[in-house]
Each structure stands twice: as structure tokens, then as C-alpha cells.
């Protein structure tokens, strides 16, 4: 998934996609252990996408990145 595609998603959508990727990764590891994995490159791709999603989540929580699905946070003291 490209960075510009991640910017268009909301935080909830990213977290939902992250859960799906983690499930896919566990299935790929299981297939690899059984010797049934058809595309070993897919493990690398999924691992990178998981890292990208976690990075975006961390950046949005720390305030370094604003996602399109988020509302702008207004400080309590009005400044």
C-alpha cells in the first residue's frame, strides 16, 4: 500500500486493515511451516505493510501526522 493511499484512510480503517494483515501473516507463516506457501515474497510484502500501518498509527497518535478521517484537535485552553 502506498503512502498516499494510507493518508486517505481514517485511523479506524487503518487499524481494521492492520488486523487483517496480521491474520494474513499468521496464515502465511503456517503455510510456510507446512511447505504449502506458493508465493514466499508475499511474506515480505505483508511484513512491510504491517510496519507502514503501525508507523502511521504511531505518528497520528503522537500528532506528527493528520489523517483525513480525523478532526482537528482544539486545545482545551483555546490557544
Q: What is the mean pLDDT of residues 13-33?
A: 95
Question: pLDDT over 70 for what percent of the chain?
Answer: 82
Domain ranges of the chain: 3-62
Contact, 25 vs 46, CB < 8 A? Answer: yes
Contact, 14 vs 59, CB < 8 A? Answer: no
pLDDT in tens, 39-66: 999 999 999 999 999 999 998 888 877 7
Q: What is the mean pLDDT of residues 21-49?
A: 95
Q: How far apart are CA 3 and CA 1, in angstroms?
A: 7
- Regarding the domain delimited by 3-62, which CATH topology (the fold level of the hierarchy) does it fall under? Helix Hairpins (1.10.287)
Residue 13 predicted with pLDDT over 80: yes
pLDDT class of 68 with cuts at 50, 70, 90? low
Model-wide pTM > 0.85:
no
Amino acid at each position: 500500500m502506498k503512502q498516499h493511499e494510507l493518508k486517505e484512510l481514517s485511523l479506524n480503517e487503518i487499524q481494521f486493515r492492520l488486523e487483517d494483515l496480521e491474520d494474513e501473516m499468521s496464515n502465511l507463516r503456517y503455510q510456510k511451516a507446512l511447505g504449502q506457501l506458493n508465493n514466499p515474497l508475499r511474506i515480505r510484502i505483508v511484513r512491510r505493510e504491517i510496519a507502514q500501518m503501525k508507523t502511521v498509527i504511531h505518528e497520528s497518535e503522537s500528532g506528527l501526522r493528520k489523517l483525513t478521517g480525523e478532526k482537528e484537535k482544539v486545545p482545551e485552553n483555546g490557544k
